[in-house]
Amino acid sequence: MTRTEFEELVAEALDRIPPELTRLMDNVAVFVEDEPPADDPELLGLYEGTPLTERGEWYAGVLPDRISIYMGPTLRMCESREDVVAESEITVVHEIAHHFGIDDERLHALGYG
């Protein structure tokens, strides 16, 4: 799968997020990266920022939160295009959930581990 195809899958996963939720997302950008940090080579996605639940009056003029979706490990773990579609959607939802302040334990319980 090419990078362009993978980026399209991530964009499609974002498009499937319900509008009621995307309207609530604030100051966050989503990027597709080739590989995760060297210290976690199997990482599929990463949220970096301040979750909405932790923002207060002090939160102004800051750089956007960043969601990174990593193509390399996703493609290596998936056996088919359908697997890549499913895994990229799960990863996008997982990282957006972190933006909303949902932790890994709750995400695993909901099936987005």
Buried b (16+ CB within 10 A) or exposed e, 71-107: bbbbeeebeeeeebeebbbbbbbbbbbbbeebeeeeb
Q: Name the DSSP class of 1.
A: -
Structure confidence at residue 104 (pLDDT): 86
Tokens 């909901």 locate to: 110
pLDDT single digits (tens) 84-107: 999 999 999 999 999 999 988 888
Count of domains in the chain? 1
Structure confidence at residue 21 (pLDDT): 87
Whole-angstrom distance, CA of residue 86 vs CA of residue 82: 6
Structure confidence at residue 5 (pLDDT): 97
pLDDT single digits (tens) 21-75: 889 988 999 999 999 999 999 999 999 999 989 898 888 888 999 999 999 999 9
Give the CATH number of the domain where residue 19 resides: 3.30.2010.20
Task: With a cut of 70, say whether residue 113 has pLDDT above it.
Answer: no
Global pTM reads: 0.90
Give the domain range for residue 45: 3-51+60-110
Task: With a cut of 90, say whether residue 108 has pLDDT above it.
Answer: no
Task: With a cut of 80, say whether residue 112 has pLDDT above it.
Answer: no
CA 74 to chain centre: 12
